[in-house]
Amino acid sequence: MDKTEKKKIEDKEQIHGNLRESIYLSLRDAITFGEILPGEQIFEDVIAKRFNVSRTPVREAIRQLQMEGYINVIPYVGAFVTKISPKNVEDIYDILIILEGYAVWEAIPKIKPRDLKQLKTLHNKIILAAQKNDVGEYYKNNIKFHMKFVELSGNEQLKDVLSSLRNKIYRTHYIGITIPGHFEEYITDHTQILDAISKADREMAKRYMEDHIRRTKVILVDYLKRTQEQPSIIYWDYEK
């Protein structure tokens, strides 16, 4: 095989991968933000037509969503959006408490002034979003804030594991921040974490992060258990 043919194959594979990722993200967001509700069926032909693609990248996107718990595929019947399991959410958050606390612990000796400045900028964006009740902007910057510590830890395996776990709770995490009355608590938690980081206090920063994730878990799981039906979600335009 000459270089030209090899390049064509590589380009084709990249295009296919981009299509699969685009479909996956679109479906995940539609499920997360309430465009497709729990129990609803997802039809491959409809999605393929919408994206003007064959069914192959659609099937691959659905398979990934199935692995992450968003979709249940029943053989010879179809693919359906799953309901949220409070027990699964609780289990994942218990792991996040440990791993995100560890991420902060590992990150602190490596944090430079510019990194702290970036974290404070994200924190200020979160505060502004809360003041405007802009759930979408809050959600986006909150994820960046948490993943910044993982990035700064320099541990690629930790990054892979946490990214995988956060993909599984992408939907429930969004629901968690739409529960009224808790923005101020979350922001206070972030402020405490940043204060500890400014003092290079690894123990305190780790404890504050663990307490923050634990608080989020308790609020979310309690809410999910109290709602017999699937929880109401504040819808917003996820394509913005």
Q: 224-238: per-residue pLDDT in tens? A: 988 855 444 433 333
- The residue with greater pLDDT, 141 or 5, is 141
Give, in words, the CATH class of 3-81.
Answer: mainly alpha
The per-residue DSSP string of the chain comes to: --HHHHHHHHHHHHHHHHHHHHHHHHHHHHHHTTSS-TT-EE-HHHHHHHHT--HHHHHHHHHHHHHTTSEEEETTTEEEEPPP-HHHHHHHHHHHHHHHHHHHHHHGGG--HHHHHHHHHHHHHHHHHHHTT-HHHHHHHHHHHHHHHHHHHT-HHHHHHHHHHHHHTHHHHHHHHHSTT-HHHHHHHHHHHHHHHHTT-HHHHHHHHHHHHHHHHHHHHHHHHH-SSPPP-----TT-
Other beta carbons less than 10 A from residue 238's beta carbon: 17
User: What confidence tier does 169 reach under pLDDT thresholds 50, 70, 90?
Assistant: confident
Tens digits of per-residue pLDDT, 110-149? 999 999 999 999 999 999 999 998 988 999 999 999 999 9
User: What confidence tier does 174 reach under pLDDT thresholds 50, 70, 90?
Assistant: confident
Q: Is there a common fold for 3-81 and 86-226?
A: no
Tens digits of per-residue pLDDT, 182-232? 889 999 999 999 999 999 999 999 999 999 999 999 999 999 988 855 444
Q: What is the mean pLDDT of residues 151-168?
A: 93
The pLDDT of residue 173: 86
The pLDDT of residue 170: 87
Tens digits of per-residue pLDDT, 75-89? 999 999 998 899 999
The pLDDT of residue 112: 96
The pLDDT of residue 177: 84
Whether this model's pTM surpasses 0.75: yes
Domain boundaries, the chain: 3-81, 86-226
Give, in words, the CATH class of 86-226.
Answer: mainly alpha
User: What confidence tier does 94 reach under pLDDT thresholds 50, 70, 90?
Assistant: very high
Tens digits of per-residue pLDDT, 8-56? 434 444 445 688 999 999 999 999 888 888 899 999 999 999 999 999 9
225/87 Cα distance (integer angstroms): 9
Tens digits of per-residue pLDDT, 56-77? 999 999 999 999 999 999 999 9
